[in-house]
Each structure stands twice: as C-alpha cells, then as structure tokens.
C-alpha cells in the first residue's frame, strides 16, 4: 500500500473551503475540488501526512473509502461490506466508528454504527479466515457521514481535530479555534513584514497563528496524527515526512506581532501558549485596555475577535467596545482593522461600512468578518 493514491477529503468550516483548496494546491496535491463543508483531493501516504502536518485551515483529513446513497440499513451494510477492510486492518485494530446523520432516512447514528461494524467484521471474517478481533491495537477511526441519504465511509487520518495544534492547554473563556484564527490572519490584509496587533488578544490564538505563518512552521509539528499508527502504511513514513518539515523557520520579512487585553489572567494563558508554540520571542504582550492603546508605526493591521455580547457581556457594552475599536483605528490612520463578531449591529456601532465582509462560522455561531482596509 505504500505507493497507493487515496481519494481524500478535508473537512472545513463553512466559509473556509476556498482557503483549504488553495492550501492543498500549494502543497502540490492533485484533483483539488471544493464543495460545501470540505475539499476533495488525491494524495499518496506522504502527501496525506504532509497535509495533516501543514494544513492550517481544515478540521480533519479523511481517506474516502466508499460513498453512495443509502436509505436502508441493508444498503448501508452492503456499502460497508464491499470495502476491502483486509487491506486496512491487520486484525488487532480498535475499530472506532462514529456516525453523523443529517436530514436522512437513516436517522439513528447508533444503529448505523452497529450495522456498519457488523458489516466490517463480517467482511474481515470472510476475507481473512480470522474469527476473533481483540481490538486491542491502534485505533482505526471511521466516520459514517450521512447527509440527505448520501453516505460516505471515511477513514479519519488526523485523529483529533487539526485545530488542536498542541500549544493550547487551557482554553480561557471564549477562545477561537486555531483553524479559524489562522483563517482570520490569512483573509486580512496582513502579510509578513507589516506589524500586526490584536487589541483583544485573550489567550493569544490569533497571535500564535500569525507567528507560525510568518516563520513558515508546520502547524501540526508538535502533535501526532491517527494515520501515524495505521498498520497498512509504511512505518518509516512518519520520520521521513516529519524530517522534511523540521527545516529551520524562514527568516524572511519578520514583523512585529503583538497583542493586548485588559484581562491579566487571559494574558497569562497567552504567554503560556506563545511559549508552548515556540513563538514567545516573536510576540509581545501587554495588559492595556484598547481605549488607551497607542502603537508606533505608520502602517499595520489590527486583527481581533472582540466579545460578541452572546455570553460574557451585554450587547450594549459590546457595541460601546466596537465604537472604541473605531476610535482606535482613528488614532492609527495608516492601519487596517479586521474584526469578527456575530453581532449584526457591528457596522452601525463602528460607524462605518466595512470595505470587505466575509461570512464565517465560529463553531456553530454565524459571524461576519469585517475588514476595514
């Protein structure tokens, strides 16, 4: 199986599919096609591991094993049974099946899981003459995704979400997913060389992601992936691909990256996260309310994820803060400002229509990313 080319699928938050496609193309992967909620592509095992290590914007990367319309348990059983599981399993794997059913005739994830597991084990019994499966070995995480009856059997090569880079050990009150933070940086006018400041930096996710991007460091270098334990892949793959990622950070166009917040506890976490990500030398943090913030530098970019008024603060306090963001920009005339919020009153409170807007999701919350360029 070492040189197989797999049909792959990178799951992404709505709104980020384009960024994920561009990223996969930049990594040299073939047959890249975006669709709602994800991107299809082809990759050999090395390309797949490289994508897991370097993709900053997608949630998980899967090998697509089979897909077709299933409206009955019998159809699902047959679909799973036709997959050549004997190629993917040596016999000791722990088959970890999970299932999502959305607007489909098959509505019970638990029943779909148990039908699929039956089919998988039956196939292995028939093809390998093995009768017992101790499931004591490495995990083979399998997702059965049923959306309007279209059923996909996916092998999860990432394991836990790719947003878990390994540097965040405590989440603070309203953290941003690392994949979304990276996307905010990528979608902003900031490019390495320009100063970047997050005036509501909280636990520092935007700053860490910007510093990782600036130095060209692989976002997943400090974590492992499910595929690194798959018995059907070459055991030397991991060290080969990882050694290519370990090249020294690029020194081109380093910028000043900084952040501030009025909450000293959040800043403690931000300091811990920058240290754990290995970028503490590149990021400056200060405890200061954005109303008092004054930065040097004729041009730069503010990127922030201010409170939305959904959980921590009342809507009117948030809108006052949005007005204060507008004043911050007025004090820094050469600077762009980008802010994400779910509050539809943002532009009115800010006092100006954004130059660009982008609909994005922070978890399940529909948000808009406002860019004042």
Ligand X SMILES: C[S@@+](CC[C@H](N)C(=O)[O-])C[C@H]1O[C@@H](n2cnc3c(N)ncnc32)[C@H](O)[C@@H]1O
Residue 206 binding ligand X, by CB under 6 A: yes
Q: Find the residue with minimal CB distance to ligand X.
A: 202
DSSP 171-187: --SSPPPHHHHHHHHHH
Is 285 a binder of ligand X (CB under 6 A)?
A: no
Which residues lie closer than 8 Å to 122 by C-beta, 6 or more apart? 81
Choice from 65, 307, 328, 360 touching ligand X (CB under 6 A): 307
Give the integer Cα–Cα distance in Å for 321 and 24.
37
Exposure string of 22-53, with b = 16+ CB inside 10 Å and e = fewer, is ebbeebebeebebeebbbbbebbbbbbbbbbb
DSSP string of 64-84, one letter each residue: EEEEEE--SHHHHHHHHHTS-
Does 258 bind ligand X (CB under 6 A)? Our answer is: no
Least Å distance, CB 10 to ligand X, is 23
Give the whole-angstrom CA distance, residue 362 versus residue 305: 10
Identify the residue among 290, 301, 338, 371 touching ligand X (CB under 6 A).
Answer: 290
- Interaction of residue 238 with ligand X, rule CB under 6 A: no
List the beta bridge partners of residue 287: 261
| C-beta atoms surrounding 188 within 10 Å | 22
CB of 197 to ligand X, least distance (A): 11
Q: How far is the CB of 166 from ligand X (least distance, A)?
A: 16
Of 140 and 180, the one with the shorter C-beta distance to ligand X is 180
Q: Applying CB under 6 A, which part among 13-21, 99-107, 172-180, 221-229 lies near ligand X?
A: 172-180
Q: Which stretch binds ligand X (CB under 6 A): 45-53, 93-101, 109-117, 304-312?
A: 304-312
55 part of the interface to ligand X, by CB under 6 A: no
Q: Is 263 in the site for ligand X (CB under 6 A)?
A: yes
What residue has token string 């599981």? Answer: 85
306 is a contact residue toward ligand X (CB under 6 A): yes
Token pair for 345: 């009153």
Out of 175, 195, 300, 309, the only residue in the binding site for ligand X (CB under 6 A) is: 175
Determine, following the binding rule CB under 6 A, whether residue 116 of this chain makes contact with ligand X: no
CB closer to ligand X, 39 vs 360: 360
Q: With binding defined as CB under 6 A, does residue 172 bind ligand X? A: yes
> Please, which residues bridge with residue 35 across strands?
38
CB of 208 to ligand X, least distance (A): 9
Around Cβ 11, how many Cβ atoms within 10 Å? 21
The b-or-e profile of 309-325 (16+ CB within 10 A means b, else e) is: beeeeeeeebbebbebb
Least separation in angstroms between residue 262's CB and ligand X is: 4
Kindly state whether residue 259 participates in binding ligand X, applying the rule CB under 6 A: no
Q: Which stretch binds ligand X (CB under 6 A): 8-16, 51-59, 196-204, 226-234?
A: 196-204
CA separation for the pair 350, 51 (Å, rounded): 39
- For the chain, the residue count is 373
Q: Residue 82 CB, nearest distance to ligand X (Å)?
A: 44
Residue of the chain from 58, 176, 194, 226 that contacts ligand X (CB under 6 A): 176
Residue 261 sits in the site that holds ligand X (CB under 6 A): yes
Taking the C-alpha atoms of residue 224 and residue 221, their distance in angstroms, rounded to an integer, is 8
Rg (CA), the chain: 23
Give me the least distance between CB of 22 and ligand X, in Å please: 24
Give the orientation angle of helix 178-187 with respect to helix 17-26, to 10 degrees: 80
Instruction: Please choose, out of 34-42, 96-104, 154-162, 302-310, the segment that lies near ligand X by the rule CB under 6 A.
Output: 302-310
| 205 near ligand X (CB under 6 A) | yes
Decide whether 45 or 307 has the Cβ nearer to ligand X: 307
Q: Which stretch binds ligand X (CB under 6 A): 53-61, 141-149, 287-295, 354-362?
A: 287-295
Q: Which residues contact 131 (CB under 8 A, 6 or more apart)?
A: 125
CB 99 within 8 A of CB 113: yes
Give residues in contact with ligand X (CB under 6 A): 172, 174-176, 199-200, 202-203, 205-206, 261-263, 266, 289-291, 305-307, 321
């Amino acid at each position: 199986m070492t040189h197989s080319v797999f049909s792959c699928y990178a799951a992404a938050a709505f709104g980020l599919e384009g960024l994920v496609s561009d990223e996969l193309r930049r990594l040299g992967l073939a047959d890249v096609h975006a669709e709602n909620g994800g991107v299809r592509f082809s990759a050999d095992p090395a390309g797949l591991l490289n994508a897991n290590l370097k993709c900053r914007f997608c949630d998980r990367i899967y090998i697509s094993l089979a897909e077709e319309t299933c409206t009955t348990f019998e159809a699902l059983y047959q679909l799973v049974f036709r997959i050549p599981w004997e190629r993917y399993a040596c016999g000791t794997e722990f088959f970890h099946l999970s299932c999502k059913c959305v607007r489909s005739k098959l509505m019970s994830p638990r029943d779909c899981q148990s039908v699929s597991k039956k089919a998988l084990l039956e196939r292995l019994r028939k093809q390998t003459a093995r009768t017992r499966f101790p499931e004591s070995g490495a995990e083979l995480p399998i997702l059965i995704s049923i959306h309007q009856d279209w059923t996909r059997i996916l092998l999860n090569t990432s394991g836990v979400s790719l947003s878990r880079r390994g540097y965040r050990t405590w989440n603070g009150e309203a953290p941003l997913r690392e994949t979304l933070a990276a996307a905010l940086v990528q979608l902003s006018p900031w490019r390495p060389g320009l100063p970047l400041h997050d005036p509501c930096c909280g636990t520092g996710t935007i700053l860490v992601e910007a510093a990782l991007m600036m130095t060209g460091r692989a976002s997943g270098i400090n974590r492992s992936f499910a595929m690194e334990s798959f018995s059907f892949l070459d055991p030397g793959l991991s060290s080969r691909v990882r050694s290519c990622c370990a090249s020294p950070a690029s020194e081109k166009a380093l910028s000043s990256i900084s952040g501030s917040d009025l909450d000293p506890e959040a800043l403690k976490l931000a300091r811990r996260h920058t240290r754990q990500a290995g970028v503490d030398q590149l990021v400056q943090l200060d405890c200061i309310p954005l109303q008092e913030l004054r930065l040097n530098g004729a041009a730069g970019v503010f990127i922030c994820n201010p409170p939305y008024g959904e959980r921590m603060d009342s809507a009117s306090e948030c809108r006052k803060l949005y007005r204060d963001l507008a004043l911050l920009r007025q004090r820094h005339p050469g600077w762009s400002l980008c802010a994400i919020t779910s509050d539809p009153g943002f532009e009115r409170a800010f006092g100006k229509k954004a130059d660009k807007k982008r609909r994005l999701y922070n978890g399940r919350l529909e948000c808009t990313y406002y860019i004042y360029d």
